[in-house]
Amino acid sequence: MRDQFVQTKNVKRFRTAVDRIQHAKLKGVERMALVFGPPGLGKSECALQHCAHNGSVYIRMKKLMSARWFLRELIDRLGDSPKWRTEDLFNQAVELLKQKKRTLVLDEVDYFTSDSKVTETLRDLGDVSGVPMLLIGMQQADKRLMRYPHLYDRFVEVVRFQPLDREDVELMVRELSEVTFEEDAIEKMVVESEGRVRKLLALIHRAEYVARGNKMKSISARDLR
Amino acid sequence: MNKTRIIGNELLKRGRDFFSLNQIIKATGLDRTVVRNTLLTLHSEGFLRRVLRTPEPYDKVKGPPMMNIRYRVITPSKLAAKIAPVQRGERNSADRMWFVIREKKVFTRRDLRVLAGVSRGYVRWFTKMLHRAGIICLTDRDEWSLIKDSGSRRPYVGDMISSKK
């Protein structure tokens, strides 16, 4: 399998959302966006790839995460050692974010939707420092965050990751696989992968294994049994 | 915040005015030994100039007299740069790989190639060096785990080849 990051429609939607929050400070236009969708569609991979190339701060939220834990992790990611008092921690985070504006990418935001302290801290950080924030959540993340209208109103872009369609599957297969897939094989991949990146990668691996074992140059649906 | 930064911020507040050891101890609330050692280090590194050094009135039974030392910051901008938190510049390939390793904790070489956009050879070299330094370990077939997280700055592994020889 080739080592490439494929630009599917979901990735393009993700990039559009990031572009929309990285504008210059305009009055009344916020810098927050939400990306959500079912598991296995490549949200986290997409976010990691973006952060690795653009120097954004990536934090994966945890179920037990408190506002204080979040601030400590944020300061660690910003390259400083966290202060002890909560008030100092918050001010330190704001100061560091103001010094060099970097987009905050928070993954698995569903975890903190039950803790209003973290949600409100995020809103405060966004208001005070003015950094762009991208929240990534699971399937029901938008509904859960709607319970906090003060936060939800600030999203300038809400992107739902969709399952891969035929066009995306074909693009991924052609860019990643080292063997040629016939049309009927691609149709079968669309059905079997259910539009999920994880499943599709496993199927491509299997197909390549079969092709290598039988010294085949192209794969048809019959070979994918 | 580390102690050098606390003391450095206090010194910067005074600009180019003279200050004594006791004044800094009082302002920062830190231990006398810590402040004295930090000021001595900053002096030896060329950030401070010693303008006065006289013995304080002798009230101790034994031991050398305590010295009343006055310092002055030579160039405040240089001191500010020294105590400032680490600012990252543009990320290079190794930085990107270190970022992915830290975030994923358990990863494959393919993850590094795809997510960090680095060539196969460089990924191989970098993981090998980190493995040699005891920072990552191989847990399964092409599955690596981070075992020693040294923070957001990537560890320097460039001299590992020569040390191996």
Site from A3, A61, A80, A105 to mutate, B interface, most B CB atoms within 10 angstroms: A3
pLDDT at B144: 93
CA angle A98–A100–A103, rounded 5-degree value: 90
Between A1, A45, A100, which is nearest B87 by CB? A100
Given an 8 Å threshold on Cβ–Cβ distance, is A3 in contact with B87?
no
Instruction: Give Cβ neighbours of residue B64 (< 8 Å, ≥ 6 apart).
Output: none
Between B1, B100, B151, which is nearest A52 by CB? B100
CA nearest neighbour of A18 among A164, A124, A171, A136: A136
Q: Which of A206-215, B8-17, B29-38, B149-158 has the lowest mean pLDDT?
A: B149-158
pLDDT at B79: 85
pLDDT at B109: 93
Closest approach of B116 to chain A, Cα-based (Å): 6
What pLDDT digit, counting tens, does each position of A162-179 carry?
Answer: 888 888 888 888 888 888
Q: What is the DSSP pairing of strand A104-107 with strand A180-181?
A: unpaired
Residue A174 sits at the chain B interface (C-beta within 8 Å): no
Confidence of residue B164 (pLDDT cuts 50, 70, 90): very low
B151 CB neighbours in chain A (<8 A) are: 76, 79
pTM of the model: 0.71
pLDDT at B149: 86
A117-126, A150-159, A187-196, B105-114 — which one is most confidently predicted on average? Answer: B105-114
Q: For residue B107, what are the β-bridge partners?
A: B144
Q: How many CB pairs under 8 A join A and B?
A: 58
Mean pLDDT score of chain B, rounded to an integer? 83
CA angle A120–A121–A127, rounded 5-degree value: 90
Give the mean model confidence (pLDDT) for residues B159-163.
51
What pLDDT digit, counting tens, does each position of A29-63 carry?
Answer: 678 888 998 888 889 999 999 998 888 899 998 88
pLDDT at A25: 59
> Does residue A149 register a pLDDT over 70?
yes
The full length of chain A comes to 225
Chain B's closest residue to A6, CA to CA, is: B114
